[in-house]
Amino acid sequence: MKTLSDAAIARLRDAVDRPQAGDRYVVHDLLGRGGMGAVYRATDALLGREVALKVLTTEQESTGIEDRLRREARVLARLEHPGIVAIHDAGTLDDGRPFYVMRLVRGRCLDEQAREDSRGGMLRRFLAVCDAVSFAHARGVIHRDLKPGNVMVGEFGEVLVLDWGVARLADSPDVPGGTTGQTDITGDGMAIGTPGFMAPEQADASASVDARADVYSLGVMLRDLLAAGGAAAPAPLRAVSAKATALVVAERYAAVDAMADDIRAWLDSAPVSAYRESPWERAVRFYRRNQALILLLLAYLVVRVLILWWRGV
Amino acid sequence: MTAFPDTRVSLVAALSSDDQATRARAVDLVVRAYRTPVIAVLQRQWSLDLADAEDLAHDFFSHALEREWLGRYDAAKGRFRTFLRSILQAYASTAHESANRLKRGGHLTAVSIDSTQLSTDAGVDRLFEQEWVRSVMTIALERLRLQCEQAGRDATYAVFLAHDVDGADAEPPLRYAEIAARFDVPVTQVANYLHWARTRFRGHIIDTLRALTATEAEFREEARALLGRDVT
């Protein structure tokens, strides 16, 4: 037998590491690795459809992380929303590792998609993210790792928030932010999130984190998405992002819905609560909002003046 | 909880078994698993060319069998792999000294394997482990080939070989559709073949590691080194 090349060794190691999920799931190629596990494309032989199978990567095995994956599956199971990837099944691999199966999303990340979107299109996708996150908050789940890489735009244009592996469950969703009775998916005393996107309070493992941490991350995402558009972002939208990313938690939007309302308001040329506009800006906004009516009125006035002038002549 | 008692009979008992066939099988496996790593170390550490390294490796294993060194392995003192490295070190040092002495008109000296220090060259250790992984993979692959042959699954083995071994260097990576076209089977069949073969290949890796280790703890340690994870 010929000598195995280094590449063959690496491939065979990967083949050995590949999840063996019984007869039901035939696991194919690796789609990506995240903070907690690896996601593979797989075929559900029972239902004859392609799915995504998430499993712990071999280097990361520990009791705590296994629990995290199981809890992530449970978090997803309680979040049935068009903007949150649906979970189909969960179980334990032949080698003892926990796994769960979810819808296979074909598409691309939000930031990639945003480069091709108009500003309005990008904002509407961003609002879909806000809706999904707000839905999770209402059910006591704080994502804690929101970033463009964790948002996929599917082939039908649907927006899906992924990777709930470090989410926090708040048992009291009616409490603003839900800081009481929390259950942490992660280990105690760990800073959770992605630098650059996570709220300052997330870096302090001892600080309590509530829904406003997600507001912060959404604010950073909004800022980056606006910057990706190339042209200078309008001041009201910059103000929305600035308010969402305030370092003092109390100065942020109290809820994602409030932030989303401001963005919808800007799209509708209505006042944005985070931005104090000048009289000229108010006039311009008034014109934009009532453009058709104003133009019609102007046309009417011009015609009236012409008629009067013609009669006078 | 482990599925095996702490000390298994596999390697320790097999290497010193009274049953000649059992002993021969164990020795054969050890030689197959360690011949390439031994040659690689001899080449790197003692700057031998391939032919000389192969000759010395042959002498080393002959010597070890003749003197029953392998049977002196004590699982309580560490991994078999480390033990083999240490007696190789002793043997190669002595052979090197003897060769120099002969050149100066001296005489051969006896090898002592009791007080040998391992080389501290991390590169040599890494090379030894890397080649050991290659050998174990090769043994498992050969076992898979035999299994496929006996089960009349030649096509399964051929697809596995094409995708996971020969195709590993392909750039861009081979797609299932290309393999399917090459073997004239549906794409879904490629996936099924690979699934079947990978599952068995993994089993052969584990079986080989179990046969090459003496205790459950050693098996776990070696499995972690080879697979990067705990194996149950």
Residue B100 to residues A203, B44, B104, B108: CA-CA distances in angstroms?
63, 19, 6, 10
Quote the CA–CA distance of A92 and A88 in Å, as a whole number.
14
What's the DSSP call for residue A247?
S
User: Which neighbouring-strand residues pair with A101?
Assistant: A53, A89
A49 phi, psi to nearest 5 deg: -135, 160
What's the DSSP call for residue A196?
T
Alpha helices in chain A (DSSP H): 6-17, 63-77, 110-114, 119-138, 200-203, 211-228, 235-244, 256-267, 279-289, 291-312
The predicted structure's pLDDT at residue B110: 53
Quote the CA–CA distance of B151 and B131 in Å, as a whole number.
30
- Chain B residues with CB inside 8 Å of A58's CB? 227-229
Quote the CA–CA distance of A262 and A239 in Å, as a whole number.
10
Q: Does A15 touch chain B (CB under 8 A)?
A: yes
CB contact under 8 A, A26 and B195: yes
Averaged pLDDT, groups of 10, chain B, 232 residues long: 44 77 85 93 88 91 82 81 87 78 57 52 83 94 96 95 89 85 91 87 90 86 78 60
The predicted structure's pLDDT at residue A92: 83
Say which of A131, A145, A163, A214 is annotated catalytic: A145
Closest to B97 (Cα-Cα) out of B115, B85, B118, B111? B111
To the nearest whole Å, the CA of B182 is away from the closest chain A CA by 19
Cβ atoms of A19 and A53 closer than 8 Å: yes
The predicted structure's pLDDT at residue A172: 38
Tokens of B161: 């070989």
Tokens of B155: 């096509």
Q: Does A306 touch chain B (CB under 8 A)?
A: no
What's the DSSP call for residue A165?
T
The predicted structure's pLDDT at residue B1: 36
Q: Does B201 touch chain A (CB under 8 A)?
A: yes
Question: Domain locations in chain A?
Answer: 12-103, 107-267, 287-312
CB contact under 8 A, A43 and B191: yes
Report the interhelical angle of B187-211 vs B122-150 (nearest 10°). Answer: 120
CATH class of A12-103: alpha beta
Closest to A169 (Cα-Cα) out of A182, A159, A158, A156? A182
The predicted structure's pLDDT at residue A188: 43
Q: Does A47 touch chain B (CB under 8 A)?
A: no
Q: Does B220 touch chain A (CB under 8 A)?
A: no
pLDDT tens, residue by residue, B161-214: 999 999 888 888 788 889 999 999 998 888 889 888 988 998 899 899 988 888
Choosing among 1.10.510.10, 3.20.20.140, 3.40.50.1100, 3.90.1150.10, the CATH entry for A107-267 is 1.10.510.10
Residue B230 to residues A15, A71, A229, B222, B226: CA-CA distances in angstroms?
16, 22, 47, 9, 10
CB contact under 8 A, B202 and A16: yes
The predicted structure's pLDDT at residue A45: 86
Residue A145 among the catalytic residues: yes
CB contact under 8 A, B133 and A3: no
Per-residue pLDDT in tens (0 to 9) along chain A, 313 residues: 678 999 899 888 887 777 777 778 888 888 887 666 788 999 998 898 999 998 876 555 455 667 777 778 888 888 989 999 888 898 888 767 788 899 998 889 898 888 888 899 999 999 999 999 999 999 989 998 899 989 999 988 999 998 887 888 765 343 333 333 344 444 444 556 677 888 988 877 667 789 999 999 999 999 999 988 777 889 999 999 999 999 999 999 999 999 999 999 999 888 899 998 888 888 888 888 888 899 999 999 999 999 999 988 6
CB contact under 8 A, B202 and A20: yes
The predicted structure's pLDDT at residue B157: 96
What's the DSSP call for residue A116?
T
- Chain A residues with CB inside 8 Å of B205's CB? 16
